[in-house]
Homo-oligomer: A and B are copies of this chain.
Amino acid sequence: MGEFELLARIRERLPRPGPRIRLRSGDDAAIAVPGGATATSVDALVDGVHFRREWSGLEQIGAKALAVALSDLAAMGAEPGEAYVVLGVPSDLDEDGCMELLDGMARVATETGTTLAGGDVTRAPVLTLAVTVVGHAPAPERFVTRAGARPGDALVVTGELGGAAAGLLSLEANEERSEWIARQLEPRARLEAGRALADADATAMIDLSDGLGGDAGHIAQASGIGLRIDATTLPLADGIADLAMAVSGGEDYELLATLPPEQLEAATIAVEKQSGVALTRIGEVVAGEGVEIRLPGGALLEPTGFDQLG
């Protein structure tokens, strides 16, 4: 199988392009008419680092690569637009395997309204995926960065925490905890929730890829403020008893955001309605710096480097 034949077969299977695309892959570059402002992010997944082929089907790996990249756009409150994919193909992955990977990406692309607009295929020692995603907004100030949190803002999180880290432990222990394992292997980007939060005047936002403690620290640092988190309020995934799993476990890909307290009720209703997940207030923004996570008795919980892929 040559590169050109594989690319031609890939192009045949791609879902229809979105309205911004004037020319899709097959030329030297894809042509788009963005309008307004773009948010662009790139994520790489490498076999043995971010996933394991013995744990994940190829369709799942393709879907996860695109979902993880789109999660960064969710955290900007962006409308997803285009994705550009590099596929590094090892010698033990045949053309049908590449098509399975692509089917997973195409499924997520269709679900999210993303156009697979271009890419490159190369040989590589292990399966490697690099995905660049472009999201859109009418103007640059409509994107929500990490830097706008203000003292007095409420700190909120979407969905439930700890499931992905618990799923990783289940996989490593060879257990069958399917709901956690699905959180680990089949993450979803909270795109609708991210746009609902942006519309509700969120002042800062990040997606939880490294774990609540660490990612909260990114908001605190970028915004020049402190965050107080009440550990008793954390929305733990079903069956999770260990707070550390929710605080230090990564890859939940939920959204952590700050917003004016008067927007809390409207944001909660909008997130629930548009994305089907709960929004939970877990703390507040204070003057100062750093992240404090307070346990029921008042003691502080230290976020630790928790076992995770990536």
Contacts and interface: CB of A to CB of B under 8 A. Distances in A.
A29 B72 contact: yes
B46 A118 contact: no
A49 B84 contact: no
Contacts of A41: 28-30, 84, 118
User: Most chain-B CB neighbours within 10 Å: which of A34, A76, A222?
Assistant: A34
A82 to B, nearest CB: 7
Contact of A31 (B48, B126, B140): B140
B222 A27 contact: yes
A147 B135 CA distance: 28
Contacts of A49: 122-124
Give the interface SS of chain A, mostly helix, strand, loop or mixed: strand
Interface string A19-51: 000110011111111101111111111101110
Contacts of A145: 23, 27-28, 31
A30 B40 contact: yes
Contacts of A30: 39-41
Contacts of A117: 40
A130 interface: yes
B118 A88 contact: no
A206 interface: yes
A123 to B, nearest CB: 5
Given A46-B123, A128-B88, A29 B33 contact: no
Contacts of A86: 42-44, 86, 130
B42 A38 contact: no
A103 interface: no
7 contacts: A28-B73, A28-B145, A29-B72, A32-B37, A40-B118, A42-B120, A49-B122
Chain A to chain B: the 6 pairs with minimum beta-carbon distance, closest first: A29-B39, A29-B41, A130-B130, A132-B132, A28-B75, A28-B72
Given A28-B72, A46-B123, 19 more contacts: A26-B222, A27-B145, A28-B146, A28-B206, A30-B39, A31-B39, A31-B140, A33-B38, A34-B37, A34-B38, A40-B118, A42-B120, A44-B88, A46-B125, A84-B132, A86-B86, A122-B310, A124-B128, A130-B130
